[in-house]
Amino acid sequence: MAHTASPQPVTINPAPALVGRIRVPGDKSISHRSLMLAALAVGESRVEGLLEGEDVLATAAAMRAMGADIARGADGIWRIHGVGVGGLLQPQAALDMGNSGTSTRLLIGLVASHPITATFVGDASLSARPMQRVIAPLSLMGADFTPSPGGRLPLMVRGLAPAVPITYTLPVASAQVKSAVLLAGLNTPGITRVIEPVATRDHSERMLAGFGAVLSVEQTPEGRLISITGEAELKPQSIVVPGDPSSAAFWLVAASIVPGSDVVVENVGMNPTRNGIVNALRLMGADITEIDARDVGGEPVADLRVRHAALKGIEVPRELAPSMIDEYPALFVAAAFAEGRTVARGADELRVKESDRIAVMKDALIANGVSLIEHEDGLSIDGTGGEAIPGGARIASKLDHRIAMSMAIAGLHARAPVMIDDAAPVRTSFPTFFALLDALGGSVTWS
pLDDT at 1: 44
pLDDT at 5: 65
Residue 3 forms part of a structural domain = no
Answer with the one of 239, 257, 284 that is the final residue of a domain: 239
CATH of the domain at 233: 3.65.10.10
From the annotation, which residues make up the binding site for phosphoenolpyruvate?
A: 28, 101, 129, 176, 357, 402
Give phi and psi for 29, each to the nearest 5.
Answer: -60, -45
| 246/142 same-domain check | no
| 20/47 same-domain check | no
Answer with the one of 190, 215, 239 that is the final residue of a domain: 239
pLDDT, averaged across the chain: 96
| 283/207 same-domain check | no
> Sign of the C-alpha dihedral, residues 9, 15, 18, 21?
negative
Asked whether residue 11 carries a pLDDT value surpassing 80, the answer given is: yes
| 14/33 same-domain check | no
Looking at 152-231, which runs of residues are DSSP E strands?
152-158, 167-169, 191-196, 215-220, 223-229
Q: How confident is the model at residue 43 (pLDDT cuts 50, 70, 90)?
A: very high
pLDDT at 3: 46
From the annotation, which residues make up the binding site?
A: 28-29, 33, 101, 129, 174, 176, 326, 353, 357, 402
51: nearest Cα among 33, 90, 25, 69: 25
| 61/179 same-domain check | yes
Residues 250-266 have pLDDT tens digits of 999 999 999 999 999 99
| 252/219 same-domain check | no
Residue 254 forms part of a structural domain = yes
Give phi and psi for 239, each to the nearest 5.
Answer: -120, 135
Tell me the residue range of the domain where 87 lies: 28-239
| 52/91 same-domain check | yes
| 272/411 same-domain check | yes
| 15/45 same-domain check | no
Residue 2 forms part of a structural domain = no
Residues 403-436 have pLDDT tens digits of 999 999 999 999 999 999 999 999 999 999 999 9
Cβ atoms of 347 and 325 closer than 8 Å: yes
Q: Which sequence positions are flagged as catalytic? A: 326
pLDDT at 233: 97
| 228/376 same-domain check | no
| 22/36 same-domain check | no
- CA 342 – CA 353 distance, rounded (Å): 22
pLDDT at 335: 98
DSSP 8-class letter at 245: H
| 68/21 same-domain check | no
Residues 217-241 have pLDDT tens digits of 999 999 999 999 999 999 999 999 9
From the annotation, which residues make up the binding site for 3-phosphoshikimate?
A: 28-29, 33, 174, 176, 326, 353
Could you give the residue ranges of the DSSP H alpha helices within 11-53? 28-40
pLDDT at 368: 98
Looking at 159-222, which runs of residues are DSSP E strands?
167-169, 191-196, 215-220
Residue 4 forms part of a structural domain = no
Lowest mean pLDDT segment, chosen from 185-199, 348-362, 402-416: 348-362
Residues 280-327 have pLDDT tens digits of 999 999 999 999 999 877 789 999 999 999 999 999 999 999 899 999
Could you give the residue ranges of the DSSP H alpha helices within 297-356? 328-336
Number of domains forming the structure of the chain: 2
Tell whether omega for the bond before 300 is within 30 degrees of 0, i.e. cis: no
Mean pLDDT for 373-387 is 98
Asked whether residue 396 carries a pLDDT value surpassing 50, the answer given is: yes
Answer with the one of 239, 263, 293 that is the final residue of a domain: 239
Q: H/E element holding 251?
A: helix 245-257
